[in-house]
Structure 1
């Protein structure tokens, strides 16, 4: 999870505005919050930052110098992408070298292919609908004409870094070698997906260099999951009915917390159950109340533990807060749902939240938004324990599965 909004999952450097949008749209479609910046520093809340350097028509040295202004954004990225034109226009060699220097990365994967638009690379040659790019209209582009169809020659005009042409199936081995520029053929989306898989297998993430095709492949890999982690501390009858109805759905797993484990601070087994459920693609409902009768056992439980009702509630809420924080450190559900005011506040406290930004309403009595200034930056939904109908939690699950994937 991110400690602040500058440690972004993806940072893309594009050399023109439409290219920046092309690079970011697939991430947005797959649930990421994407912003395109014309100026930096950009401090907005975003999962993916796309910076338009507007450098395509600059001379190579000026383009490289302009990228130096983005050093802070480049070093904070989990994934760093240099968006280039699929027909090799612009300053790919100079800008790739500049970003390698800024980021400290050892290698760049260069895959300009965009098969969905008829742009492929075979034997290191850039083709448009099967024709070498130098035999198309892009060779006479009025601003940035393309003089070479071989990707290596285009790069060599602007950088002395060594390059090597390989196929996707050989990329994993090549990433263990010394060549700083790995030009990878791609004739299909499957090839681009294979490239991203190889990049994910590296201890040090390489610089990704490509057009919208490679950006789309990265977005497919990083697509936000649609699972909900629900933490329900309320013992109200309606809350139990909501759990019961939602638990009848096939892709929902329930994790019942034993109160004895709360006092033993034994949460390892529950964390494993939560991880297993989310990894299986299930929504996960964490709750402390087995049925509607459990609320009538509170007085007996307080006597056994020598605690007041308030102290008992605080102990359970604190356990759930810590459990939730730890679960979110190990998993990335699509959203977090907390029911019961004390539990919601305990979760916020465990995450070091400084506030809550309301964005809207999912279902009746279920506001949603984001915690401010804290570790969890995903959507958060809250509900007072006794509010809603027996189908409220089902409505929330529907929102996660349908609306959040639009």
Structure 2
């Protein structure tokens, strides 16, 4: 294994696995596998990039550090020459969050400073300019995406926000330097490291900027950022002759289908609204879930009864509705109850023969795949930017799409089921 990734949630892991498998042109990526948690056995020698999906974004910082360092040890044991710490392109993290502590712990373990930190994802409208995170033409904290139910991020100045979480000062490489190319970027990173800055925010507004940043990162033991930070990393290994450039090769899988949506993002709510016009849809009563009157058997029964019609069960609500439920029952209780419901439902569905499963929402996806315990997932075709087909092995393989809440076109759900079937 040449390159290892530690992702702080499961949809983000799929996102960066897709980037690495796709490469710069769609056919020059690395042979990539996504692992659901830290593997207990060694990797297949054919794997060039391994992505470890953790569910660490919303847990205590100390536990997130512990899990991430364990993942790092496994990746280094597989021979990884470079490690990427992947977090959300909207930098979902409170002042007491995990991005800073985990990144600094990884940097200390690898003995490095001047480490790239760049959450930019231009393909999804996330850019970094003058150290500030934008969503399209709006600062993040004015975009509507700052209101994450678990990890609200309310300051677009990511240098200032990240500094609340770190032990050392946070550096910056501005756009003028990025536009001068990889040599200038590398020199700026070295200068920041020499000044004792462990993490360095790097501006990026286009995929070309990220390609240049990736070139500058060749030979760096640690890189951190959103999934697009990996755009240029595969090419470094291919051009050096260490990797063959085969990319994604997993085929689809046809069979019974179901969709589970636990995201409250505006994009997912729109996707639910469009899908429900022509398909059977179940709105999950969250208060009933918390009270125990709505059970996984109820949700699974609805989805199985409507098999063949792309059925959807969802718990997506507006920010106001979510806040009211959190005030009534408590944030942790609501989240834990929904995670348990979706996890149990998914297990029932797969046991009953579901072979195509679409899941929306990072926390929901983490709960589902953790419960299913599918092992390593092969990376297939891209459904929409940041969301690939994932295929498990074994006697009863399952084709999955794990969608971050804000990702996907309005018709994502129907499209995803077609892609999962290889169509």
Q: 1-side partners of 2:147 and 2:207: how far apart?
A: 28
The counterpart of 1:89, out of the listed 85, 92, 115, is 92
- 1:98 matched to 2:98: no
Q: 2-side partners of 1:20 and 1:131: how far apart?
A: 26
Indicate the RMSD between aligned Cα atoms, in angstroms.
2.2
The alpha carbon displacement at 1:333 in A equals: 5.6
The alpha carbon displacement at 1:44 in A equals: 2.4
Q: 2-side partners of 1:9 and 1:331: how far apart?
A: 8
The counterpart of 1:180, out of the listed 177, 198, 222, is 198
1:71–1:221 distance in 2 versus 1, CA, 3 Å: closer
Match of 1:369?
none
1:72–1:132 distance in 2 versus 1, CA, 3 Å: same
Question: Contact 2:30 / 2:245 at 8 angstroms: preserved in 1?
Answer: no
The counterpart of 1:78, out of the listed 76, 81, 92, is 81
Return the structure number with greater relative CO, CA threshold 8 A, min gap 6. 2
Q: 1-side partners of 2:106 and 2:244: how far apart?
A: 32
1:171–1:51 distance in 2 versus 1, CA, 3 Å: same
Give the TM-score normalised by the residue count of structure 1.
Answer: 0.51
Question: Contact 2:61 / 2:101 at 8 angstroms: preserved in 1?
Answer: yes
Helix, strand or coil: the match of 1:116? helix
What number of residue pairs does the alignment pair up? Answer: 221
Match of 2:251?
none
Helix, strand or coil: the match of 1:138? coil
Match of 1:271?
none
Give the TM-score normalised by the residue count of structure 2.
Answer: 0.49
* Deviation digits for residues 69-90 of structure 1 (CA, Å, limit 9, x no counterpart): 2242343421210111111013
Q: 2-side partners of 1:206 and 1:171: how far apart?
A: 16
Q: 1-side partners of 2:235 and 2:137: how far apart?
A: 25
1:331–1:87 distance in 2 versus 1, CA, 3 Å: closer
Match of 2:229?
214
The alpha carbon displacement at 1:94 in A equals: 1.3
1:157–1:332 distance in 2 versus 1, CA, 3 Å: closer
Match of 1:293?
none
The counterpart of 2:3, out of the listed 3, 10, 14, is 10
Q: 1-side partners of 2:157 and 2:111: how far apart?
A: 27
Question: Contact 2:126 / 2:136 at 8 angstroms: preserved in 1?
Answer: yes
- 1:157 matched to 2:150: no
Larger radius of gyration: 1
Q: 2-side partners of 1:88 and 1:73: how far apart?
A: 26
The alpha carbon displacement at 1:334 in A equals: 6.2
Q: What does 1:358-369 correspond to in 2, within 5 Å?
A: none
Q: 2-side partners of 1:110 and 1:74: how far apart?
A: 20
Q: What does 1:253-268 correspond to in 2, within 5 Å?
A: none
Question: Contact 1:84 / 1:211 at 8 angstroms: preserved in 2?
Answer: yes
Helix, strand or coil: the match of 1:113? coil
* Deviation digits for residues 9-67 of structure 1 (CA, Å, limit 9, x no counterpart): 11001011110010011222334221111232441212111011211111222211221
Q: 2-side partners of 1:42 and 1:209: how far apart?
A: 26
Question: Contact 1:163 / 1:182 at 8 angstroms: preserved in 2?
Answer: yes
